[in-house]
Structure 1
Amino acid sequence: MACVGGYMASGQWKRPEDTSTTKDTIKYYTDLARLADRGKISAIFFADWFVGFDVYGGSLDTMLNAAHQVAHLDPYALVSAMAAVTNNVSFAVTQSTTYSTPYVLARQFSTLDHLTGGRCAWNIVTCFTDSSAQALGHDKIMGHDERYDMADGFMDVVYKLWESSWSPDSVELDRTTGLGFDAQKIKKIEHRGKYFNVSGRSQVHPSPQRTPVLFQAGTSKSGTSFAAKHAEAIFLNTVNPQQAKKTISDLRAAAAANGRDPQSLKFFPCFMPIIGRTPEDAKEKHERAIANADPVAGLAQFSGYTGIDLAKFPLDEPMDLSGMSQAMAIQAVFRALEASEGEEKRLWTPRRLGMRMALGGLHPCPVGTASQVADVMQEWIEEADIDGCNISSVTNPGSWEDVVHLLIPELQRRGLYWDDYKVPGGTFRENLLGEKTLRDDHYGATFRWKHEDKAVSFGG
């Protein structure tokens, strides 16, 4: 996340070797991009949201004081600089459909796709906090299912702009004839729908991928339905391979029911490893992380994710949830946390929960040598049918350097990681799925240019 301070591991920015306080400089991002390119990383993934989490104590103050998940820069502005210093690594940018407009977003991603040579992706999300609604001119957030219904209509509009407005052979730029863009092959889209009315041509000529690679992370009933229809890559928040296996199996089945090849959906659970050159080195790194962790910021992060204010509970006393309407939901989280690391069942205090959140929370957080961490990942690959991992850092750039210099060589030795990009210098979709544009069985492909149409007009 492009936030000055902590993102997944609260408090670690205080360490003298950590560069998280420089996330408001170009150098931070270009250094990160160069490292990822050297490590043959598929993509750098930017989480993002509006405002920040102000549930804990009814205020954003805890997050601000802790420099945790606040001071967000807009990731759009960073990607061009990162792409300019790399040849292969791609960039996934989070953007919400709730408060964006399809025409503007389509133009932004077409621009990114051009400037990166087709190395961009869109992580599709919906906003879920009242504070984001209020900051953007609304009284409160709309209901969950309605947000996904709106997102579905949003997708129809951007598909039309990306796929339908300009013919593949509309770009001439012929110096001899003087014909630039063939107006007869560039059409207005006319969209009239429940949420959006759009009349106009795409402002940008077709980019290398036309539609960026589409990420999504929803696992609710509405989110699963949306992902099965639209997503090409899915970011998972699952605590163990058994849970991931079921989620992946269900989503692949839903995609198949939509007429898609289920293997064309790629799944990436989050991992936050601590990797040492020896077991002792890994243990020492883990102990340093614990010493610098900020459990109160971790609690505020948990409150923001769940909408449950835990500030009322004393930090070091077991939580009495008997009077809370969300008691069952919190107990389910506790069970998942215990299962994720095989922890013994014991009473949860806010501090214990905050420490877990400060060091990865619900995500797998293996500590060990590259071989030991690779063992954990291999178990997920073989048992859960994952396609890769979304790696988060404890420290910057130390965690990333350990991945590139220690973990990837071990994964390569095991045949679990490519020795080079499948298509060096190619687009993200070519390296992810083997095709430059949307697959024929993807819903978005139904909006492709048709020569017989005088305009592209659909509801939705």
Structure 2
Amino acid sequence: MSKPIRFNAFEMNCVAHQSPGLWRHPRDRSRAYNRLDYWLDLARILERGLFDGLFLADVLGVYDVYGGNGAAALQHATQIPVNDPLLLVPAMAAVTRHLGFGVTVNLSYEPPYGFARRMSTLDHLTEGRIGWNIVTGYLDSAARGAGKDRQTAHDDRYAIAEDYMAAVYKLWEGSWADDAVVADAEAGVFTVPERVRKVQHDGPHFRIDALHLSEPSPQRTPVLYQAGTSPAGLGFAARHAECVFISGPSRKVIASRVAAIRQAAARIGRDPASILIFTLLTVIVAPSDEEARAKLADYRRYADHEGALTLMSGWTGVDFSQLDPDAIVEHVENEAGRSALENITRADPDRRWTVREVAEHVAIGGIGPLVVGSPARVADELEAWVDETGIDGFNLAFAVRPETFRDVADLLVPELQRRGRYKTAYAEGALRQKLFGGSARLSESHTAADYRQLWQALETA
């Protein structure tokens, strides 16, 4: 039986996410990003399309590499203004029953004690449908906003993240026993004190001596997402991630990145198949190929090339405003993200990209591929991506919102269902159960289970 294809909607609580300029399209609702009715309508569309989740990106700081300041980002609404993604989730959960929510939170600027409580709260309010996209940040502007001179070096951020994960695992998994809450009205006992223990963590970067403030939520630890294909990022994903978000321009590039992730997991004793891998993609689908091509041509009339280069400058740390539009883009390594430029400069060894071509490519769908056509043509492409790369699904970016997601739900999903490549109903249970089956809790083979066993050690002592 062929592997089923999974969809997440790739969104952000801002105006221009991956397709700068498309907010100007007459059918686009991006200017309503700060209105709750937009997000409620989107949640209903995604649940109708049986999307596994809404993957909410986020960024702290301003894309101020382009031109050396934030003027271009502000002018083009390039991920600014941007609001908090977590506050959207309870409202969307209230109008859906199954849709999962993967929220991006930057651990570089979030003390683990309070953050652990917020995620437990969301897991309670969504009845176990919350996930966390673990990021460490890449903008110097965010560091300055948090009182630092500059961002921490790339690999050092992952070392800090390891300590952070140990702290939150102890809070989520090791503080409250499953039977701590008895809510015995007759005896006047809500929580049995002996069934709650202090978390004591004294790591190189974080210290905690406290009870977790929340009783155990359905999943305890949220579903863990992670993005990053650098050597440090691969190692981190192999140890912690249940779902990995990657990007790349071609099936050949993505296949090698999928293999690297699964090999890294196998080296530390994890089942490589236990990690779900999603790649960035933008779909423009219409009833016929001709209509889809016309839709793309219409969208391109609103594409914003300077906004696209503002994004690329922030992602890569390279000021594209200083380069001639016809200059060849070369790979550069720095302390920002290390994958964005690779998606351009190393995609095809026989191709040399100019700055102008990068802007055109990024302007619709960011650094991911663009698939355009009828439901049958797009389904053929997506099946080939899954079958040839080993990915499990796609983080689908939008061009026009929510039109892109409505088209996927109403045109593409039925075609994939006819082919037996897409679910026809949601599984029951928490998000982790919908994705993996089994328990709502992390598996015993996950590194976080070590902190769960602290209770077992106490009980058998």
Q: TM class by shorter-chain length?
A: over 0.9
**1:40-439 to 2 correspondence within 5 Å?**
40-315=50-325, 318-319=326-327, 333-336=343-346, 345=351, 348-423=353-428, 426-434=429-437, 435-439=439-443
Cα 1:288–1:260, aligned 2, differ >3 Å: closer, same or farther? same
Higher mean C-alpha deviation, range 237-246 or range 53-62: 237-246
Counterpart amino acid of 2:431? Answer: F
Paired amino acid for 1:260: R
Identical pairs, percent = 37
1:443 deviates by 0.5
TM-score (norm 1): 0.92
Partners of 1:400 and 1:293 in 2: how far apart? 19
- CA shift, 1:331, in A, is 8.2
Aligned CA distance change for structure 1 residues 292 and 338 (closer, same or farther; 3 Å): farther
Alpha-carbon distance in structure 1 between the residues aligned to 2:456 and 2:445: 22
Alignment CA distance shift 1:326-1:144 (3 Å): closer
Residues 243 and 350 of structure 1, relative CA distance in 2, 3 Å threshold: closer
Q: Deviations over 1:124-144 (max 9, x none)?
A: 000122111100011111111
Q: 2:317, 2:384 → 1: CA distance?
A: 33
Paired residue total: 445
Deviation at 1:3, TM superposition (A): 3.9
Provide the rounded CA distance (Å) in 2 between the counterparts of 1:252 and 1:163. Answer: 26
Quickly say closer, same or farther: Cα 1:169–1:229, change in 2 above 3 A: same
Task: Find the residue that maps to 1:206 and give its secondary structure.
Answer: coil
Q: Distance in 2 between matches of 1:3 and 1:48?
A: 7
> What's the counterpart of residue 32 of structure 2?
22
Name the CA shift for 1:178/1:449 in 2 (closer, same or farther; >3 Å): farther
SS of equivalent to 2:183: coil
Distance 1:415 1:452, change over 3 A: closer
- The CA deviation string for residues 240-270 of structure 1, in whole angstroms up to 9 with x for no partner, is 2222222112211221222211111000001
The separation in 1 between residues aligned to 2:68 and 2:399, in whole angstroms, is 27
**What SS does the aligned partner of 2:448 have?**
helix
Q: Which residue of 2 aligns with 1:442?
A: 446
Aligned pair in 2 of structure 1 residues 452, 412: CA closer, same or farther (>3 Å)?
Answer: closer
Question: CA 1:379 to 1:204, structure 2 compared with 1: closer, same or farther past 3 Å?
Answer: same
Q: Give the Cα–Cα distance (whole angstroms) in 1 for the partners of residues 254 and 353 of structure 2.
A: 25
SS of alignment partner, residue 289 of structure 1: helix
Code of the residue aligned with 2:448 in structure 1: it is G
> In 2, are the aligned partners of 1:293 and 1:359 still within 8 Å (CA)?
yes
Distance change (3 Å), C-alpha of 1:300 and 1:337: farther
Mapped to 1, the partners of 2:313 and 2:285 lie a distance apart of 29
Query: Cα–Cα, structure 1 residues 199 and 453, in superposed 2: closer, same or farther, change >3 Å?
Result: farther
Counterparts of 2:46 and 2:79 in 1: how far apart (Å)? 22
Q: Secondary structure at the match of 2:200?
A: strand
Change (3 A) 1:396 1:321: closer
Q: Give the letter aligned to residue 387 of structure 1.
A: D
Q: Residue 250 of structure 2 contacts residue 347 of structure 2 at CA under 8 Å; is this kept in 1?
A: no
The structural deviation recorded for 1:449 is 4.8
Offset at 1:274? 0.9
1:458 — aligned with what?
none
* AA aligned opposite 2:196: I
Runs of 4+ more than 3 Å apart: 1-4, 324-339, 449-455
What is the deviation of 1:36? 0.8
- 1:92·1:121 contact (CA, 8 Å) conserved in 2? yes
CA 1:170–1:330 in 2, change beyond 3 Å: closer, same or farther?
closer
Could you tell me which runs of 5 or more consecutive residues in structure 2 were left unpaired when the two chains were aligned: 1-10
Name the aligned partner's letter for residue 254 of structure 1.
A
Ranges in structure 1 where 5+ consecutive residues have no aligned partner: 456-460
Deviates more, 1:26-35 or 1:243-252: 243-252
Deviation, structure 1 residue 338 = 5.4
User: Secondary structure of the equivalent of 1:272?
Assistant: strand
Q: Give the deviation of 1:204 after TM superposition.
A: 0.2
Q: Compute the TM-score of the two structures, normalised by the length of structure 2.
A: 0.92
Q: Which moved more, 1:147-156 or 1:304-313?
A: 304-313
C-alpha distance in structure 2 between counterparts of 1:2 and 1:412, whole Å: 28
Computed over aligned residues only, the root mean square deviation of the Cα atoms, in angstroms, reads 2.1
Q: Give 1:362 deviation, angstroms.
A: 2.8
Match of 2:8 in 1: none
